[in-house]
Amino acid sequence: MYSWFFARIVILSSVVMFCPFVDKGQEPESVSSIFKLLESEATTDSAAAKFSKMGPESTTAKQYLNSRLSALIQQNPRTAPHVWLNSVHLAGQFQIADAIPSLVKWIGLVVGTTQGTTLTTQENLESFPAGKALAQIGDPAVPALSSVLNSGETRERFVACRALRIIGTRQATVALRSHLKQESDPELRAYIQKVTDDNR
């Protein structure tokens, strides 16, 4: 009995002796520290990659971004273009509904060039990151996109229509159908007609 007891003590001691201690310097970065990196042009790309890796499944990351991304998107993109673009991409990926008003502000902004792009690229709003993010957010963005249809400039209305097409829900289709007769641009009106016909 005693030999078994002491043997167990020896085994447990060995486990403790060889168990590696966690170095505090190797602890995972906190969401707040990663967000600080996101705010800097020098480190924003690496921070965005870390948030993307976490994904919207991380409730901690999503809640943190939900309360802070809107302010970054609201700023003029020229001030910190990479910070702005990464913030917009994350707003779409994490479906940050609180960022909708800020995204709508820049819905017509072209990033890069639309020249030489394929029809698929244009339809997917690759050159309009704010519009693409609104499409990714989905139904919560439909009322804001409807407002763009009613009062936006021609380019903004085109982006809003494409975003609603991508969303593709009944709510999005109803918004397009409701706007059809009010649309003054013939090309855009024809586009809306086609989208609504396809979704019948």
Domain range list for the chain: 31-99, 107-200
The end-to-end CA distance of the chain, in Å, is 80
CA distance 33 to 115: 39
Note whether 150 and 169 are within 8 A (CB). Answer: no
Per-residue pLDDT at 20 exceeds 60: no
What pLDDT score was predicted for residue 82?
97
Note whether 110 and 95 are within 8 A (CB). Answer: no
What pLDDT score was predicted for residue 147?
97
Q: pLDDT, tens digit, for every residue of 59-100?
A: 999 999 999 999 999 999 999 999 999 999 999 999 999 999
Which residues are within 8 A (CB) of 67 and not within 5 positions of it... i.e. 6 or more apart?
98
How far is residue 70 from each of residues 13, 59, 94, 137, 198, measured CA to CA in Å?
A: 53, 17, 12, 14, 34
Q: pLDDT, tens digit, for every residue of 33-65?
A: 999 999 999 999 999 999 999 999 999 999 999
* Closest CA relative to residue 145, chosen from 131, 125, 127: 131
Per-residue pLDDT at 4 exceeds 80: no
Q: pLDDT, tens digit, for every residue of 118-161?
A: 656 678 899 999 999 999 999 999 999 999 999 999 999 999 99
Burial 61-93 (b: 16+ CB within 10 A, else e): bbebbbebbbebbeeebeebebbbbbbbbbbbb
Statement: the pTM of the whole predicted model exceeds 0.85: no
Tokens standing for 166? 């991508």
Higher pLDDT, 114 or 14: 114
* Closest CA relative to residue 148, chosen from 92, 109, 91: 109
Note whether 127 and 107 are within 8 A (CB). Answer: no
What pLDDT score was predicted for residue 115?
57
DSSP alpha helix (H) spans, 43-106: 44-54, 59-66, 69-74, 81-93, 100-105
Tokens standing for 60? 């901690």
Instruction: Report the length, in residues, of the chain.
Output: 200
Per-residue pLDDT at 101 exceeds 80: yes
What pLDDT score was predicted for residue 28?
56
Helix (H, G, I), strand (E, B) or coil at 133: helix
